Structure 1
Amino acid sequence: MPSLQLFHQILGLMLLLLPCYAHGKPTQIFPVPGFKAERGISQAYLPGFPSVAGSEMDDAVLQLKDRISKLEGDWRKESMLVSVASGRCLVLYLQGKITKSGGKIFATSGKTADFHATVKMCQEAGGCIASPRNADENAAILHFVKQFNRYAYLGIKESLIPGTFQFLNGGELSYTNWYSHEPSGKGEEECVEMYTDGTWNDRRCNQNRLVVCQF
């Protein structure tokens, strides 16, 4: 049985990458606790139903069985959706629109946007803007930059100290790959882009760059 986390992760990727998800968010589907009938339950009460007695009890039981049957059917449908979505994600992987590094998945739609729009698009897909923390993750993002021949924004911004950069959550950078003599914006270029050789440059946030998200 596929995990709910995998199901939501795949839906996030589908929202970012597939046309059929381009105009809305994936519906979150939560697991339904299993129902186990207990012996000796009073005929005068069933959870979720008004008090009943006599022949009304049979009707209540039938309604309860019908509800459980529908819930089980919904879960089977969810499992089928996961199977279909997994197959589509495999196709996207083969097309070069999904890469992996460690426990992270990086994905792109091939579209471009400014920094703030990129952050929003990745969040709506259930992930965040790509933020490399080591050379392998940097290489995973570089794969897209080379494939589409477009620079990409990274999830890194200038801190309150000009010339000093950090992750969007305020975390310090333990890995960097700046181009020679960069960063050089001195407070005027707050965002960071990746060049087609994998090196970084500080840049104004209003330029359109390749959207790359991580999950």
Structure 2
Amino acid sequence: MMLSPQLHKILAVAFFLLPLCVQGKLAGFLPSFPFKPFFGGRSNSAEEQQIPDLTALAGNEHGDPIHQLEYRISRLEGVLRLNKMITESGGKIFATNGKKADFDGTVEKCKEAGGSIATPKSPGENDAILYFVKYFNTYAYLGIKQSLIPGRFQLLNGAQLSYTNWYSNEPSGKGEEECVEMYTDGTWNDKKCNKNHLIVCQF
């Protein structure tokens, strides 16, 4: 079954947010998917990741499996927007599960979900991340880190920054603050990497 890149993104986002659904935080809002355990076998653990059983869509009376899946995913996307779990900008989908982690933990959680830590490359993308930061009234790490030159920052892949939104007189860590956090006004600050901040990923 061939899915468009956009559908792949939405599915990755959905799997990232499913633990919230299992815990009942979005109960009653999500479209009804047939679920099966991600790791196989039966489990009573609410924390275990789950994925939709796509084979159950095969004989659906409303059309072929791909059209039915697209329909359900479009509903899911709308619900996630309504519940302030996803935003979109620049062809990227940004998502949060409402949890916090240090910088390395955020990078790992986003990677496990099939995405990467949120990295704004334009004012629009910065605003998409700010949406979560304001809603949860907390800071979030960005996918930016200090380079080998103290006080200089770059993307995690080593590329130079093409867009910045530093708070006045920042960065000011003089080489001792290697990570970058977003304030609740959307501006950036260099910070040590061991604080727990809101996990925001991009897909």
CA RMSD of the aligned region, Å? 2.6
Please name the residue that 1:57 is paired with.
none
The more displaced of 160-169 and 180-189 is 180-189
Q: Give the Cα separation in 2 of the matches to 1:87 and 1:79.
A: 12
Determine if the alignment matches structure 1 residue 213 to structure 2 residue 167. no
Q: Give the Cα separation in 1 of the matches to 2:17 and 2:71.
A: 17
Shift of 1:82: 4.2
Shift of 1:79: 5.1
Larger Rg: 1
Determine if the alignment matches structure 1 residue 23 to structure 2 residue 48. yes
Q: Give the Cα separation in 1 of the matches to 2:163 and 2:17.
A: 28
Q: Give the Cα separation in 2 of the matches to 1:168 and 1:25.
A: 30
The 1:11–1:79 alpha-carbon spacing in structure 2 relative to 1, beyond 3 Å, is same
Can you give the 5+ residue segments of structure 2 that lack an aligned partner in the other structure?
23-37, 39-46
One-letter code of the match for 2:162? S
Shift of 1:123: 1.1
- SS state at 1:89 partner: helix
Please name the residue that 2:8 is paired with.
8
Higher percent of residues as strand: 2
Q: TM-score, normalised by structure 1?
A: 0.72
Q: Give the Cα separation in 2 of the matches to 1:182 and 1:26.
A: 43
Shift of 1:6: 3.4
Shift of 1:2: 7.0
What CA deviation, in whole Å up to 9, does each residue of 1:75-128 have, x standing for no partner? x55654443233122101112211111211111111111111111111111111
Shift of 1:189: 0.8
Which residue of 154, 162, 177 corresponds with 1:189? 177
Q: What is the percent sequence identity of the aligned residues?
A: 60
Higher percent of residues as helix: 1
Determine if the alignment matches structure 1 residue 142 to structure 2 residue 167. no
Q: Give the Cα separation in 1 of the matches to 2:180 and 2:119.
A: 10
Q: Give the Cα separation in 1 of the matches to 2:3 and 2:163.
A: 33
Shift of 1:181: 1.3
Determine if the alignment matches structure 1 residue 102 to structure 2 residue 127. no
Please name the residue that 1:174 is paired with.
162
One-letter code of the match for 2:125? E
Q: TM-score, normalised by structure 2?
A: 0.76
Shift of 1:25: 7.3
Can you give the 5+ residue segments of structure 1 that lack an aligned partner in the other structure?
30-71
Shift of 1:13: 0.4
